[in-house]
Amino acid sequence: MLLRFRKFLIYGIRRHKCRPFSVSSVTSSSRKGLVLGVYDKDKDEGSIRFTDAGASFDKLVSGKLTQMLSISGPPLKMGKSRVFYGLHQDFPSVAVVGLGKKGVGVCGKENWDICRENIRAAVSVGCKQLQDLEIPHVEVDSCGDSQSAAEGAVLSLFEYDEFKGKKKIHVTPQLHGSADPGAWEKGVLYGDGQNLARSLMEAPANHVTPKLFADTIEQKLSPFSDRVMIHKRPKSWIESEQMGAFLSVSKGSEEPPIFLEVHYTGAPDSSKGPLVLVGKGITFDSGGISLKSSSGMDAMRADMGGAASVCSTIVTAAALKLPVNIIGLTPLCENMPSGKATKPGDVVHAKNGKTIQVDNTDAEGRLILADALCYAHSFNPRALVNAATLTGAMNVALGSAASGVFTNSDWLWDQLYKASVITGDRVWRMPLFQHYTRQVTESALADLNNIGKYSGSAGACTAAAFLQEFVTASHWAHLDIAGVMTNKDEVPYLRKGMSGRPTRTLVEFAAGLASEP
């Protein structure tokens, strides 16, 4: 009898995976799902190790969940899941997900909190399975960390389908039970922030021009008008600020440049200087006269990933009401070839008076950042952090494992590192040796060369050395995020596409500054 029941159960699971319920064939009340977690069993344990929510549900259904897990196959490993049906009238579909070992924490080798990452990954599997079954209402087990569970749910359910006729069913995950709803809401806001950056990066370049980018951020910040001030600086203002490096990049495009300046005042009475975030905002990068190859050029719609993550960080900080003052600066333009475009070998003047020999117009991000960094110093920043999809060399160096960080401040590095351990969106410190500075300051025609005299080596390091020539702040960090711009399958709780990284790490970093003495 037990053998026949097991065959029936496995057949039912497989049948529903291959032929999910259609939306029209079930009532809305039955289209509700639940995601529950289960830990790896210790060797001396004979029973299944549920989370608190899982144990409560199993008790509610008189042990049926334990029975079905026991007879449906081997114990669930980390990131694996099974879906069961008809266990309880309130939750006709229940996804049980493997959380790995219980009680693990920060791993020194991996530089992240394994428990938090396991929760994000496991919850994402269950949520995606239930979404694929077209179940619009999903409750999620906190799995011992409500914030991480919320992040895994919200991030995994995002898919950019704005221009598709057939869209995935929209799912708004909710916390199951009453386990720390404040932390859950915080996780939702963290996830929403990164999804905003993903949405901006995924959108076609003809739908996110400099103006449309600025308008989108203005709209997203409109609910927080009491704490946020926005300036969309036009080309005339950029000219008046003598941002010749920025203007040299925008010359080839018909789209006018915009310098977007956002002020979030979360601590109006603070005597501390603001955190200033600067993001590279190339809304499409053709390479200019130094034209890129056509293969993969479509992905250059996301070359404003730095601006997207910076602005999304401020949107999230405002939603969280973080008690910290933040200023976001994002120079926005396209890098296009035309009769007006900057030519290789041209010399341009930056805001601080330094001249730059532009030997490669595809090394444009550092040019627009140079002027933005100069302007950032006028706010006497407590810390100055810029983020940019700057160099393919960073992708070669670190791949998608971590954002590269170049910084002149041990204190600032510690703050960024601690934030990344919590979020799982890691950072890795890179060198700022004088060895690299000499490569960009020895130029035939100008004070600086935008690619350095050895253009084929250490490209991420020489780009950082170039930016440092426009920095006098004691606490500055440059995040090269080119390697983390996209996700294939490396981060299990993100679908394939633009990643929106490292938005959550920047938010966590800002939150840490709010409590830093």
390/365 Cα distance (integer angstroms): 6
Coil, strand or helix at 6: helix
Is 452 in contact with 462 (CB distance < 8 Å)? yes
209/215 Cα distance (integer angstroms): 10
| 198: annotated active-site residue | no
For 53-58, the CB contacts below 8 A with 24+ separation are: 53/141, 53/142, 53/143, 53/176, 53/177, 53/179, 54/96, 54/141, 56/177, 57/88, 57/94
Of 31, 32, 220, 366, which is the active-site residue?
366
Rounded to 5°, the CA angle 473-476-478 comes to 140
Is 196 in contact with 315 (CB distance < 8 Å)? yes
Judged on CB neighbours under 10 Å (0-12, 13-18, 19+), 226 is exposed
331/324 Cα distance (integer angstroms): 23
224/319 Cα distance (integer angstroms): 8
How many residues comprise the chain?
Answer: 517
Of 41, 168, 227, 292, which is the active-site residue?
292
| Residue among 386, 371, 253 nearest 307 (CA) | 386
Backbone angles phi, psi at 347, to 5 degrees: -115, 130
In angstroms, the Cα distances linking 86 to 7, 12, 31, 69, 481 are 17, 11, 12, 14, 46
| Residue among 350, 303, 56 nearest 203 (CA) | 303
**Beta strand 228-233 pairing with 258-265:** antiparallel
Q: Which residues contact 503 (CB under 8 A, 6 or more apart)?
A: 193, 194, 196, 197, 308, 309, 312, 313, 316, 425
**Beta strand 403-407 pairing with 486-487:** unpaired
| Residue among 469, 455, 309 nearest 373 (CA) | 469
223/221 Cα distance (integer angstroms): 6
Is 103 in contact with 50 (CB distance < 8 Å)? no
User: Cβ atoms within 10 A of the Cβ of 514, count?
Assistant: 18
Is 469 in contact with 440 (CB distance < 8 Å)? yes
| 366: annotated active-site residue | yes
Is 134 in contact with 169 (CB distance < 8 Å)? yes
In angstroms, the Cα distances linking 96 to 5, 104, 239 are 19, 20, 59
Active site amino acids: 292, 366
